Amino acid sequence: MHNRPLGQTGLPVSEIGYGAWGIGGSMWIGAQEDESVRALHRAIELGVNFIDTARGYGESERIVGQVVHEHRGDPLYVATKVPPKNRKWPAPDGLDPAETFPGEHIRASLETSLRASGLEAFDVLQFHVWSDEWMGRGDWLEIAGMRTVRNVERNAAVGDGRGLSAERQAIVAKHRWERNFYQS
Catalytic residues: 57
8 Cβ neighbours under 8 A, 6+ residues apart: 154, 155, 157
Q: What CA–CA distances, in Å, run from 40 to 11, 49, 68, 128, 137?
A: 20, 10, 9, 22, 37
CA atoms lying within 13 Å on the CB side of residue 134:
21
Neighbours of 102 (CB within 10 A): 18
